[in-house]
């Protein structure tokens, strides 16, 4: 007979007991004489005994020790195996205590209908969910941009036979809102709800099919088509040579100039085939009255590289390199050239601004 005062880990080499020698444990609650309850556990003798079962060993524990034992069992078996449902005040959580994500996930698994009811009755729940998703996506955007190992792993596991552009293509396919808030002053939306990448000039015996990485259009009563070509953040912005083309003048890289020509060619062929405007069709092939998308000198974008590639040996930005790149793209009518880190910065700013506005409300 013993009363447990505390629990601590045991480092001894212990073997599991054989199930055929298992015993029954009886329990009851007793008073310690000072108003505190004790849980009394009594094990009965082995079933192999010839005599009647009788008390063999007994233990007593108070509420403090019982709480320790519960923590030990939860760590050993997990809440799901123990069928423990965390007690969470979902509607009014303590303001200074964070909610354990694992406990919240377990609570959802136990009572999904309660969570759905709460979300349904909350007029702002959709905004909260959308904002949480966008925060996760800009965090993934930053990791893809800055963590080379992570980017390579994503490419190898998801697109083993394709280049790094496929990783970014899929990411922007899943997050077209980033282009909507990051590329232009106007709100841009995906041309198709299913896929950003679209064929914009058909292929035939006499012509080459042209495909744009992202086909967008402005949002509003009058819509205009917008094109985007997506390279990777690893493409050089300037020619990777030690000496400038002329003193203080660095030439644009082959990838940058090639991307510009590609974007210009795609827009030119699309306009040549579609003319000034494109009639939108209903599901049965008939015209939608008054619904057109215009191609009047359509805007186009080239997303390529990272401004960090313009840094010098000491880690600071190289003034003449940055000037050469900036002047080159500022004098470019089409496409507008943006680097991946610039697109990320705009997306992060949009998410942070929306979140601050929501808090103020």
The predicted-structure confidence for 216-234, as pLDDT tens digits, reads as follows: 665 555 567 788 899 999 9
Contact status, residue 226 vs residue 188, Cβ threshold 8 Å: yes
Question: Is 265 inside a domain boundary?
Answer: yes
What pLDDT score was predicted for residue 77? 79
| 80 and 90 together in one domain | no
Contact status, residue 200 vs residue 184, Cβ threshold 8 Å: no
Residue 27: domain span:
1-6+23-84
Contact status, residue 23 vs residue 45, Cβ threshold 8 Å: yes
Any idea what the Cα angle at residue 181 is, between residues 202 and 261, rounded to 5°? 40
Low-confidence ranges of the chain (pLDDT < 50): 87-97, 187, 191, 196, 199-200, 203-209
What pLDDT score was predicted for residue 242? 82
Question: Closest Cα partner for 235 from 301, 296, 171, 310?
Answer: 310
| 295 and 243 together in one domain | yes
Residues 306, 145: Cα–Cα separation, whole Å: 9
| 208 and 94 together in one domain | no
What's the Cα-to-Cα distance from 248 to each of 300, 324, 325, 327, 328, rounded to whole Å?
A: 29, 8, 11, 12, 13
What pLDDT score was predicted for residue 89? 41
Question: Closest Cα partner for 269 from 216, 224, 207?
Answer: 207
What pLDDT score was predicted for residue 258? 95
| 221 and 305 together in one domain | yes
Encoded tokens for 282: 């209903």
> Residue with structure tokens 């313009």?
310
User: Residue 99 CA to chain centroid, in angstroms?
Assistant: 20
What pLDDT score was predicted for residue 128? 57
> Residue with structure tokens 């941009």?
145
Question: Is 127 inside a domain boundary?
Answer: no
- pTM (predicted TM-score): 0.57
| 157 and 292 together in one domain | yes
> Residue with structure tokens 């040549």?
272
Count of structural domains, the chain: 3
279: three-class secondary structure by DSSP = strand
Cβ burial, residue 260 (10 Å; 0-12/13-18/19+) = buried
| 189 and 78 together in one domain | no
Residues 262, 259: Cα–Cα separation, whole Å: 5
| 228 and 307 together in one domain | yes
Question: Is 258 inside a domain boundary?
Answer: yes
What pLDDT score was predicted for residue 5? 84
Residues 234, 308: Cα–Cα separation, whole Å: 10
The DSSP 8-state label assigned to residue 46 in this structure reads P
pLDDT in tens, 299-341: 888 999 999 999 888 888 899 999 999 999 999 988 999 999 9
Question: Closest Cα partner for 216 from 206, 208, 224, 204?
Answer: 224
Residues 198, 224: Cα–Cα separation, whole Å: 16
| 115 and 199 together in one domain | no
Question: Is 17 inside a domain boundary?
Answer: no
Contact status, residue 250 vs residue 321, Cβ threshold 8 Å: yes
| 261 and 141 together in one domain | yes
User: Residue 172 CA to chain centroid, in angstroms?
Assistant: 12
| 102 and 194 together in one domain | no
What pLDDT score was predicted for residue 341? 94
Q: Which residues contact 273 (CB under 8 A, 6 or more apart)?
A: 200, 201, 202
CB atoms within 10 A of CB 168: 24
| 142 and 36 together in one domain | no
| 91 and 74 together in one domain | no
Question: Closest Cα partner for 301 from 180, 161, 173, 126?
Answer: 180
Question: Is 18 inside a domain boundary?
Answer: no
> Residue with structure tokens 């979902």?
90
Specify the DSSP element, H or E, that contains 37: strand 37-44
């Amino acid at each position: 007979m013993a009363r447990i005062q505390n629990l601590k880990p045991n480092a001894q080499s212990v073997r599991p007991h054989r199930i055929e020698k298992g015993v029954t444990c009886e329990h009851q609650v007793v008073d310690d004489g000072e108003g505190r309850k004790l849980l009394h556990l009594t094990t009965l003798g082995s079933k192999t005994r010839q005599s009647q079962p009788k008390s063999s060993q007994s233990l007593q524990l108070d509420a403090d020790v019982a709480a320790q034992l519960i923590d030990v069992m939860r760590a050993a078996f997990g809440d799901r195996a123990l069928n423990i449902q965390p007690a969470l005040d979902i509607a009014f959580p303590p303001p200074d205590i964070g909610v354990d994500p694992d406990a919240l996930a377990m609570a959802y698994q136990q009572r999904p209908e309660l969570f759905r009811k709460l979300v349904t009755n909350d007029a702002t729940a959709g905004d909260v969910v959308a904002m949480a998703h966008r925060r996760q996506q800009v965090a993934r955007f930053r990791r893809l941009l800055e963590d080379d190992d992570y980017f390579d792993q994503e490419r190898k596991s998801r697109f083993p036979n394709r280049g790094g552009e496929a990783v970014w293509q899929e990411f922007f396919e899943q997050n077209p809102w980033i282009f909507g808030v990051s590329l232009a002053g106007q709100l841009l939306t995906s041309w198709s709800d299913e896929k950003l990448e679209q064929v914009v000039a058909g292929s035939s015996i006499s012509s080459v099919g042209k495909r744009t990485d992202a086909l967008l259009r402005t949002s509003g009563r009058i819509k205009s088509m917008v094109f985007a070509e997506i390279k990777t953040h690893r493409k050089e912005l300037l020619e990777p040579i030690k000496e400038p083309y002329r003193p203080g003048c660095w030439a644009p890289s082959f990838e940058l100039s090639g991307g510009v020509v590609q974007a210009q060619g795609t827009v030119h062929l699309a306009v040549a085939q579609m003319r000034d405007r494109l009639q939108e069709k209903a599901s049965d092939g008939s015209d939608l009255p008054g619904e057109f998308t215009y191609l009047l000198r359509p805007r186009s974008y080239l997303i390529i590289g990272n401004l960090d590639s313009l840094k010098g040996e000491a880690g600071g930005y190289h003034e003449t390199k940055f000037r050469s790149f900036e002047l080159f793209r500022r004098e470019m009518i089409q496409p507008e050239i943006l680097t991946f880190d610039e697109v990320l910065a705009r997306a992060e700013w949009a998410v942070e601004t929306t979140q601050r506005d929501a808090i103020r409300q």
